[in-house]
Amino acid sequence: MKTIKQYNIGIVGVGTVGTEMVRLLKKRRFPVNQLIIFARTERHIEIDQESFHVRVATPEEFEDIDFAFFAGTEGAKGASQTLGWEAVQRDCVVIDNGDDFRMDPRVPLVIPEINPESLHDHQGFFANPNCSAIIALMALAPLHRAAGIQRFIACTYQAVSGSGSSAVKELKAQIKDWAQGDDARPSVYPHPIAFNVLAQIGGVKDEPGVTSEELKMKRETHKILGDDSIQISTTCVRVPVFNGHSEAIHVEFENELSVEEARKVLDEAPGVQVIDDIDNNQYPTSLDCCGKEDVLVGRLRKDESVEHGLALFVSGDNLWKGAALNAIQIAEKLIEIRAR
C-alpha cells in the first residue's frame, strides 16, 4: 500500500478566514501531520469543540512547516509582509490570503481551476486573489476561453463577513437595535449597514473615484487571465448579508456566444454549478452559496446593449472559494504536481 505523505501546516491568523481554513482542512481530508495556529498572542481557542494552542509567530517557527496559510482578512496588513518571505527562506511554501503581494511579479496569483500553469514556476510564495475576483472569474474565465472577453461590467453585492468577524457582529447588533427602535451605531463601516447598502468598499487612492476593491477586480483579472486588453468597470457595494458575495455581470465578447453555448461551457467548468431556471424561481442567492465549494451561476441571458453580449449573475461563499478554500486548493494542486 502506498503511504500518503503528510505535511506540517501553519495557519497565521485565526479570525474568520483562519477558522474556515481549519474546518476545510478537516473536511477535505488534507494530509495533515501537524496543524499549528499562529496569532499575535499566545492562547487557547476552540473550533468546533476541538481545542488548539495558539502560538506567537516568529521566523524560527516556520523551520518545520511545509505549508503556511496567511489567513488575514481581505486588506489586512502586516503578517505576510513581516513573516512571508522569512518562511519561504526556511523551505516553507507560503499561501497568502491578503493583498500585499498579489501584484508582485515574483508571486503567482492563483485560482487553481483557471491558471494552474502558474504553479509550475515559482519562488515558494503564492497569493490568493480578491474574493470578488475569484467568484467572478470562476464563471468568466471559461467563457473567455470560449469566445474572448473584450469588456465586462460587474456590480458586486458583498457580504459583511468579507470585513471580518467585527462586521458580522456589527450587523447583528444593528438589526437588534432596529428591532428595539434604537438608532444604529456604526463602527466598522462609516454608515449603518443594517437595512442599507454602502457603495464603497475600500479607500480611493490610485484612480479618482475608484475604490481599492474595484481596482483589485480589474488588476487581478488582468494578471490571472494574462490579458491586459480586457476593459473592466466595477462598482463594489457592501450589503446587509452575513455571508455570500453576489455579482451582476455584463460581458461583451469578441465572438458570438449564444446563451445555450454559454450554459454548456459553464456546465462543464470545474467548480461551477449552473442554477438557471427563472420560470421556477431558480437562480443563485447568497444563502444558497454558503457552505458550498462551487460558485453558483445563473440568470444567463442576452445583453442586447452590445454586440456579442451576455448577462449573468453569480454567487459564491466568500469565506470558502473566495478565501480559505481557494488557498487550500492551491496547496492541494502543488502536492499533485509534486507527485507526478
**From 92, 131, 236, 290, active-site residue:** 131
- Written in H, E and C, the secondary structure of the chain is CCCCCCEEEEEECCCHHHHHHHHHHHHCCCCEEEEEEEECCCEEEEECCEEEEEEECCHHHHCCCCEEEECCCCCCCCHHHHHHHHHHCCCCEEEECCCCCCCCCCCCECCCCCCHHHHCCCCCEEECCCHHHHHHHHHHHHHHHHHCEEEEEEEEEECHHHHCHHHHHHHHHHHHHHHCCCCCCCCCCCCCCCCCCECCCCCECCCCCCEHHHHHHHHHHHHHHCCCCCEEEEEEEECCCCCCEEEEEEEEECCCCCHHHHHHHHHCCCCEEECCEHHHCECCCHHHHCCCCCEEEEEEEECCCCCCEEEEEEEECCCHHHHHHHHHHHHHHHHHHHHC
Reading the block at residue 296, the C-alpha cell is 453558483
The whole-angstrom separation of Cα 217 and Cα 101 is 15
Q: How far apart are CA 63 and CA 266, in angstroms?
A: 42
Choose, from 92, 245, 289, 290, the residue flagged as catalytic.
Answer: 245
Q: Identify whether 245 is a catalytic site residue.
A: yes
289 is catalytic: no
The residues annotated with a catalytic role in the active site are: 131, 245
